[in-house]
Structure 1
């Protein structure tokens, strides 16, 4: 089964009072409309809000009591958004509040929605074009405070190695192909190294399509890495979220990928899939009850591409 990642968020109405008061203060009035949003894995609220006078924003927030790691992801996203230049493919940060516990981001309200999953070919082309269009302005951003992918992307560095000790807990397919996949996953760390600012979490639910914009949202996982990574993430999401265009077909069509050795994309896919399988065997983190099942679904969705790529690449 394919589709967007869906966690369990609390509704905006359950956010602490001081969070709601801060939002209303920044927007200049009581809220007349709140539309809670689903999607993503954060347990905190995410909502489109509007005052009676028409001031609007997208609010995302989380406190350490919901999940100890999510506020740091919001802090990281706030730093990146603050550094991003104004561009149609990039979201605009309006304000941020951090009291040491709850972190609240006010982001421009985008009159659109994520592309449907499974991906449609036309939407993939839009997002691939947006990644290419944004590249020149992203290359001008000061990335000094952004973590290096080669130092802080466990999915591609170390996480996949844990599967070797968990093979008795998962489908036998993974044991039968473990050594071949591990051989390719070993190369992933070297392939993601670089100095470009990359989103590093391009998925269908991290894009908003409006009538005239294609906007890359959710920058909490941004890294300094190889510029081709975001195009690779889009190709891998053809497997993860499902698509009428396969991972291999998009790799053949995307100008940022089609001249690369097919073994490069296989290396990233192998590391990611093995990491997801490993994570699916472990207890759910605090307030992230759907993460093991989502990880298992993503891993299983990779199998057709991995089978094809292993047969082609060897």
Structure 2
């Protein structure tokens, strides 16, 4: 997947004149350049804006009438960013703005690039090191974050992530399963069903959407973590597995990297398998019903992610295809 080039976003000139004027006024000078973000799967406006006085800012914006879900997501992210512990590799929130039915949030820009696949091992290791710092800071979350009423991964799993049980019950069609996962529905249901119980015991917070396109690598090879809409109560190892799916697809030793990571210290022995089963079911079923407000690249991302998760899981489980091949 070309995660650095998946977005389909409006340009600066596509924003209403009143919105452009309000943003320029808030930035303190006219906008003279807009570098639209090319990663991501929403159709919201997202760009680094340069002003006539030489300033830079990263701005995301969406219209309430056309994309109310994005407005809600951006507002939630702004509330979270304002309350995250200081010093983390996270873009800082500057301000938010309502104008002409549009909601915008302004962040500090990060001079960095989306990691390309296959992962460069040094960039993946830098990302894992950075995530260790983030997870440590969120293991005992500050009260102001808890006061936001953030969701719990255990509830999200039951309500939206676990789909193999729905497939087994006949309420969802069986998505195409690559060998050797074909014929393993019973095992997939059993594995994913453990996730709510495992997640319920977590006391810290986790990013909730740790993907390669939510990471930026700066010139010093430090990793920065973006898109904080889905912060939730849950174990950090869940996000770690999700991130490492792309590492598996890159041919890297992801099992060793998971085992060596600090967040894996208190993970259940089958945490990787349980998470892979859950994420595979989520992505493969979601690929069939992509909302029109999403990038047309989203189904390919979901199918590819689900297939890679199943491939990694099959290797760990020692499953073999019907003809005996592993």
Q: TM-score, normalised by structure 2?
A: 0.85
Select the residue among 255, 262, 266 that pairs with 1:255: 262
Q: Which runs of 4+ in 1 moved over 4 A?
A: 1-5, 153-157, 166-169, 172-175
Matches of residues 199-214 of structure 1 in structure 2 within 5 Å? 199-212=207-220, 213-214=222-223
Q: Does 1:234 align with 2:240?
A: no
Distance in 1 (CA, whole Å) between partners of 2:213 and 2:100 is 28
Quickly say closer, same or farther: Cα 1:230–1:171, change in 2 above 3 A.
Answer: closer
1:160 and 1:272 in contact (8 A); partners too: no
Give yes or no for contact 2:158–2:196 (8 Å, CA) kept in 1: no
Question: Aligned with 2:106: secondary structure?
Answer: strand
TM superposition shift of 1:5 = 7.6
Q: Say whether residues 1:225 and 2:234 are aligned partners.
A: yes
Deviates more, 1:33-42 or 1:62-71: 62-71
Q: Please, which of 276, 279, 282 is the counterpart of residue 275 of structure 1?
A: 282
- Cα distance change on mapping 1:11 and 1:100 into 2, 3 Å: closer
Q: 1:119 matched to which residue of 2?
A: 119
| Number of the residue aligned with 1:13 | 13
Q: In the alignment, which residue of structure 2 is the partner of 1:191?
A: 198
Instruction: Report the equivalent of 2:298.
Output: 291
Mean alpha-carbon deviation: is it higher for 22-31 or for 57-66?
57-66
Question: Does the 8 Å CA contact 1:235/1:247 hold for their aligned counterparts?
Answer: yes
**Shift in CA distance, 136/256, structure 1 to aligned 2, threshold 3 Å:** closer
Select between 214-223 and 136-145 the one with higher mean Cα deviation: 136-145
Matches of 1:190 and 1:21 in 2, distance apart? Answer: 50
Which whole-Å CA distance do the structure 2 matches of 1:152 and 1:225 have between them? Answer: 10
Give distance in 2, aligned partners of 1:17 and 1:162: 47
Cα drift, residue 88 of structure 1 = 4.5
Q: 1:128: which partner in 2?
A: 128
Q: CA deviation at 1:39?
A: 1.1
Judge which range, 55-64 or 259-268, deviates more: 259-268
Q: Which position in structure 2 is the counterpart of 1:106?
A: 106
CA RMSD, Structure 1 to Structure 2 (Å): 2.5
Aligned residue in 2 for 1:55: 55
Please tell me whether the aligned partners of residues 6 and 39 of structure 1 are also in contact (alpha carbons under 8 angstroms). yes
The answer to whether the 8 Å contact 2:9/2:43 transfers is: yes
Matched-pair contact (CA < 8 Å) for 2:242–2:279: no
Change (3 A) 1:147 1:85: same
Q: Is this contact kept in 2: 1:155–1:271, CA < 8 A? A: no
Q: Which runs of 5+ in 2 are unaligned?
A: 320-326
Listed as ranges, the gaps of 5+ residues in structure 1 are none
Matched residue pairs, number? 309
Indicate conservation of the 8 Å contact 1:114/1:204, yes or no: yes
- Counterpart of 1:307 in structure 2 is 314
CA contact (8 A) 1:121 1:244 kept: no
Q: Deviation per CA, 1:223-269: give whole Å up to 9, x if none.
A: 11123333233223424xx3241432322332332674441111011
Mapped contact 1:131–1:230 kept (Cα < 8 A): no
Change (3 A) 1:8 1:161: farther
CA shift for structure 1 position 81: 0.4
The answer to whether the 8 Å contact 1:74/1:105 transfers is: yes
Deviates most, 88-97 or 61-70 = 61-70
Q: TM-score, normalised by structure 1?
A: 0.88
* 1:67 equivalent in structure 2: 67
